[in-house]
Amino acid sequence: MSDPLTFASPAIEEQFYHRINPLLRQIALEYAEEAFQRHGWIWHITSAIRTREEDEELKGTGIHCTGRAIDVRTKDQPKRAVDDIVTKINEEWVYDPKRPTFLVAFDKPHGTAAHCHLQVHENTGRRQSNG
Ligand SMILES: [Zn+2]
């Protein structure tokens, strides 16, 4: 079966499969599958790589310009499904052990463009399991 993923445009699809950070792609594919299995939620990726101009217009932090961030639409999903997947990602992955307040996934519930932002850093890794 192909990945349970859709894209806002062919350009974003090309960025996702060929240009974004490979670890970010790996994490996205893993949790898109989880989201589909657990909630029947097919991820729709609305943003990947942005130009500086596009990012400034959206008041971004610049991380989308580096290929280390993507956005997934959440406005059509129940809050419990979004919370479940966001929590799971952050329980299983650490963005940067030196800066624990930074997260791999967070929900941006603003207006009609509500989305989940996923990001990675060079120090991003799977958390050590206790079991
Ligand atoms: Zn974002």
Q: How far is the CA of 130 from the centre of ligand 1 (A)?
A: 31
Per-residue pLDDT tens, the chain, 131 aa: give them: 588 999 999 999 999 999 999 999 999 999 999 999 999 999 999 999 999 999 999 888 999 999 999 999 999 999 999 999 999 999 999 999 999 999 999 998 665 578 999 999 999 999 986 65
Q: What pairing do the DSSP bridges indicate for beta strands 5-7 and 43-47?
A: parallel
Number of H helices, E strands in the chain: 4, 7
Q: Does domain 5-124 have CATH number 1.10.10.10?
A: no
Amino acid letter for position 69: A
User: Nearest Cα to 41, choosing from 74, 8, 87?
Assistant: 74
The rounded distance, in Å, linking the Cα atoms of 5 and 80 is 20
Q: How far is the CA of 27 from the centre of ligand 1 (A)?
A: 15
- The reported pTM is 0.93
Q: Look at residue 131 in the predicted model and tell me its pLDDT.
A: 55
From the CB of residue 44, how many other CB atoms can be counted at a distance below 10 Å? 19
The rounded distance, in Å, linking the Cα atoms of 86 and 44 is 15
Q: How far is the CA of 131 from the centre of ligand 1 (A)?
A: 33
